[in-house]
Structure 1
């Protein structure tokens, strides 16, 4: 699909690479979530207690305090560099989420102001950029993709665009909710915030995106902080180093 939609090699390299990175972060976040879920299912009922907003495995704290081998079996190790996170209500489908991540930004080819075919730097049409999710959704449906896959494109913008957001911000979209409808879509939306298709592309830490989210109001920033608490934080500095891209902290 990316090869079919890309107007130039530069457009392909920017957008396809971004989608690959988001798929990688998605898998990392889900591996952590599923590790927490599976460990929760195998622990005795009294091994889980709630601390603040986090369902916390009691054994993690006990093992830190006394180092007992018996208690060590309760420890949930970091998964793929992700730290924190809350126990999810169910096992998350990593295969479906990965496919969704690889296709979530397919609509951005249609909102390029300069597509790179003339040898000039890529640029996006700022006022139309917010349309890329709906464009991608319709494109995937027209290509025969299932609704459940096409929705990854429709429902990943920002921290979830509500009907009220669309109206209040005068966005060029039909008034509707453009929010994830399941955990798979939500985790892709979260992963997407850690990398930007700016020219040149860059990684953002959770704190950096919180500042960006705050530009759309305190409620939007709070949505993001709650998502970070829910899914934990990937090792963004390590990803930036691996891909030789700038890191905004």
Structure 2
């Protein structure tokens, strides 16, 4: 068993323990479940302890730090969703449901500071975690007149292919919504299911706004946290 495979399987055990508000099973039970040696398991446990996800004390059960687990997926971190899901221990895959060049709608053009009707690649993607739908995204990538016909699935790579510069940051606006019938069918959930939403605007090295997406994320698969500081009470006085 590879270290990555063991790490992913152990994270599944961690998520299940956290959901049940229970400690992890003992080492003997975990090695039997995961099909690894005790040394491999101890190395994997130590890595999750280093990340602040687990708490271990000699002679006591290993417990999950609920806050540490939440902080493993940070709202301010920028990853492809397949990478994000993999880091949480899921078997991740992405499906391209739609990909075609369309004129940029006026409402999106206003957000990207572009001309309405500019050529753009319209895409619809769905991510799966352990075979189950987890996220859905509909987006537009601005195109120059001579854009490559075959683009990478990753928007970060696709921007570089098209514009020869990197997508370096995103304006992300979180929200919540209820799935309509079409979205619910794609995510294999009942219509009206509540989901997290993210409206994203991707900005390149030169400051150009080149990418727009609206995403639906199932909160039972992944939840996001961010860290913020509190101003000293004397600031602003």
The structure that is helix-richer by fraction is: 1
The structure that is strand-richer by fraction is: 2
Instruction: State the TM-score, normalizing by the size of structure 2.
Output: 0.30
Instruction: State the TM-score, normalizing by the size of structure 1.
Output: 0.29
Higher RCO (C-alpha under 8 Å, 6+ residues apart): 1
**Larger CA Rg, structure 1 vs 2:** 2
